[in-house]
Amino acid sequence: MSQKRPFITLNQAQDILADVPTPFHLYDEKGIRENARRVNQAFAWNKGFKEYFAVKATPNPYLLSILREEGCGVDCSSYTELQLSEACGFAGSEIMFSSNDTPAEDMKKAYDLGAFINLDDLTHVDFLAKVAGVPKTVFCRYNPGGTFDLGNGIMDNPGDAKYGMTENQMAEAYTRLMAMGAEEFGIHAFLASNTVTDDYYPELAGILFELAVRLHKRTGAKIKYINLSGGVGIAYRPEQRENDILAIGEGVRKKFEEILVPEGMGDIAIFTEMGRFMLAPYGCLVTTAIHEKHIYKEYIGVDACAANLMRPAMYGSYHHITVLGKEDAPCDHKYDVTGGLCENNDKFAIDRMLPQIDKGDILVIHDTGAHGFSMGYNYNGKLRSAEVLLKEDGSHQLIRRAETPADYFATLDCTPYYKKLKL
Ligand SMILES: *Cc1c(COP(=O)(O)O)cnc(C)c1O
């Protein structure tokens, strides 16, 4: 089970540790750029293709700027994500605003930035007109209901999902938006998460391309964009296969040629909004073993906790762990690797076979580059960690400092207790 290798060695980690104490999330610039180039290559056949990185996955301006240099835009769903994107220089058609249950200020901000606005519901047509205005281009999010099946079974359950609108509502939204002055339209749908199969995007594309043809015939709307959104997964487990993005791009191209081109709709631009696939494998959580404990089971306590990486506690997700310097040692010890929250689900691994771990060992928790740091929280008064960028030249840069108690208590500054805190 040791075929999954971290992108840093013990020596490199020690170099960083001299500047930044653990725990911290570390990102691999080289891996990020190479992967972004593969994504663009996979869809190079489509003239208007653009990947809009889902900011919620990893909202760090340095990483967003790297992706911008590789030709990516951003997908935002909140006011602060829009602000961060604006600060990184994203503007207009470089921003998708795919929100739901949207506050008026957020909608207005997206409109003011000239973002592509993606409406989650038919009632948002009037809401958009009222709080902002109707732009030239509007996207609508589709929910086909029922279950989403691929050859090998049910992938997800759109009928239970809160997102998107029905086909009839899409038609009505386009018709009404045209009457309000909109001229061009997009279709968006997100039907399954963390898919590890090359068939998800092509299958989704087939559904959306056919929908585009029907909606165009029914309403006369000029459909210019189809956004396949996120959901392309990664191999968190060493035995899992990785998605082949070139095969995925080719699968989408086939559907495009089959369905859209014969209808004279071959000028449609394909968008994606991947988060996980863009960054997850190129980030890791670096943490130090600070305690060991022997009761009914063997425990290793580390200095990170679920507040730094929530996925294992929240979803029972697997994240591979490597003990630096022991990459090739036999995995002959069974451990629970825990954080310090007063919650028994604060475990990065349960019954995991690992090399013998000694106090002071540096552990790399893999694949935390997306939905890792960003899902962090402050339960038990735990502080969010730093983020560090491993640059292409091998040097490193602090791209977010760790929180301090002063950050944690900052919002008490409206109370008399604030002055009594010894900060
Ligand atoms: C979360 C999200 C994404 C990204 O999803 P991944 O699984 O990280 O690829 C894209 N679009 C929307 C609207 C999202 O909510």
Mean pLDDT of 303-317: 97
Nearest atom, ligand 1, residue 274 CA? 9
pLDDT of residue 124: 98
Q: Which helix H or strand E contains 64, and what residues bound it?
A: helix 61-69
Residue with tokens 């106090």: 359
User: Which letter does DSSP use for residue 20 in this model?
Assistant: S
Tell me phi and psi for residue 343, to 5 degrees.
-145, 125
Regarding the beta carbon of 231 and ligand 1, being less than 6 Å apart is answered yes
The structure tokens listed for 128 are 């958009």
Looking at the predicted structure, is the pLDDT value of residue 1 above 50? Answer: no
DSSP string, 65-94: HHHHHTT-EEEE-SHHHHHHHHHTT--GGG
* pLDDT tens profile 378-403: 999 999 999 999 999 999 999 999 99
Q: Is 83 in the pocket of ligand 1 (CB under 6 A)?
A: no
User: Which band of pLDDT confidence, cut at 50, 70 and 90, is reported for residue 151?
Assistant: confident
Q: Which amino acid residue places its CA nearest to atom 3 of ligand 1?
A: 230
The secondary structure of 178-204 as a DSSP string is HHTT--EEEEE----SSB-STTHHHHH
Residue 277 DSSP SS3 = helix
Q: Please say whether the beta carbons of 222 and 175 come within 8 A.
A: no
pLDDT in tens, 164-216: 999 999 999 999 999 999 999 999 999 999 999 999 999 999 999 999 999 99
Q: Is the CB of 273 under 6 A from ligand 1?
A: yes
**CB-ligand 1 contact for 251 (6 Å cutoff):** no
Per-residue confidence (pLDDT) for residue 150, from 0 to 100: 87
Q: What is the rounded distance in angstroms from the CA atom of residue 114 to the CA atom of residue 121?
A: 20
Q: pTM surpassing 0.85? A: yes
Rounded to an integer, what distance in angstroms lies between the CA atom of residue 81 and that of residue 95? 10
Per-residue DSSP letter, 404: -
Averaged pLDDT, 265-277: 98
Q: What's the CA-to-centroid distance between 236 and ligand 1, angstroms?
A: 17
CA dihedral in degrees (117, 81, 160, 128; nearest 10)?
A: -30
- The pLDDT, as a whole number, for residue 2 is 45
Q: What percent of the chain has pLDDT over 70?
A: 100
- Ligand 1 pocket: which of 163, 204, 229 to mutate (most atoms within 8 A of CB): 229
3-state secondary structure of 260: helix
Please report which helix (H) or strand (E) contains residue 208, including its range.
Answer: helix 200-219
Average of per-residue pLDDT values in the chain: 97
Please name which of 321, 237, 255, 251 lies closest in space to residue 287, comparing C-alpha atoms: 321
Of all residues in the chain, the percent with pLDDT exceeding 90 is 97
Q: What are the tens digits of pLDDT across the range 3-60?
A: 799 999 999 999 999 999 999 999 999 999 999 999 999 999 999 999 999 999 999 9
pLDDT digits (tens, 9 = 90+) for 281-306: 999 999 999 999 999 999 999 999 99
Query: For tokens 């709307």, what's the residue?
Result: 221
Distance 275 CA to ligand 1 centre (A): 6
| Cβ–Cβ < 8 Å for 14, 253 | no
Q: Is the pLDDT of residue 79 over 70?
A: yes
pLDDT confidence bin for 156, thresholds 50/70/90? confident
Cα 98–Cα 102–Cα 104 angle in degrees, nearest 5: 125
Q: Is 25 in the pocket of ligand 1 (CB under 6 A)?
A: no
What is the chain's Cα-based Rg?
Answer: 23
Reduced to 3 states (helix: H, G, I; strand: E, B; else coil), residue 112 is helix
Query: In terms of DSSP bridges, do strands 116-119 and 137-141 run parallel, antiparallel, or are they unpaired?
Result: parallel
Cα(95) to centroid(ligand 1), Å: 14
Q: Using a 6 Å cutoff on CB, does residue 60 contact ligand 1?
A: no
Answer yes or no: is the C-beta of 195 below 6 A from any ligand 1 atom. Answer: no
Answer yes or no: is the C-beta of 274 below 6 A from any ligand 1 atom. Answer: yes
Average pLDDT over residues 75-89: 98
C-alpha of residue 196 to centroid of ligand 1, in Å: 15
122-147 burial code (b ≥16 CB/10 A, e <16): bebbeebeebbebbebbbbbbbbeee
Q: Per-residue pLDDT for 143 more than 70?
A: yes
- Ligand 1 pocket check for 139: Cβ under 6 Å: no
Query: Which atom of ligand 1 is closest in space to residue 118's alpha carbon?
Result: 13
DSSP 232: B
Give the per-residue pLDDT at 420.
97
Residue 289 burial class via C-beta count within 10 angstroms: exposed 0-12, middle 13-18, buried 19 and up: buried
The confidence band for 312, taking pLDDT boundaries of 50, 70 and 90, is very high
The DSSP string of 344-397 is TT-EEEEEEEE----TT-EEEE---TTTTGGG---GGGPPPPEEEEE-TTS-EE
**Whole-number Å distance between alpha carbons of 224 and 270:** 9
pLDDT tens for each residue of 239-256? 999 999 999 999 999 999
Q: What is the mean pLDDT of residues 273-284?
A: 98
C-beta of 98 in contact with ligand 1 (< 6 A): yes
Q: Please tell me the total number of residues recorded for the chain in this structure.
A: 423
What's the pLDDT at 153? 78
Mean pLDDT value across residues 402-413: 98
Check pocket membership of 276 for ligand 1, CB cut-off 6 A.
Answer: yes
Instruction: Specify the residue with its C-alpha closest to ligand 1, atom 10.
Output: 230
Examine the pLDDT at 364 and tell me if it is beyond 70: yes
Residue 190 beta carbon below 6 angstroms from any ligand 1 atom: yes
For ligand 1, the distance from its centroid to the CA atom of residue 230, given in whole angstroms, is 4
What is the structure's pLDDT at 154? 82
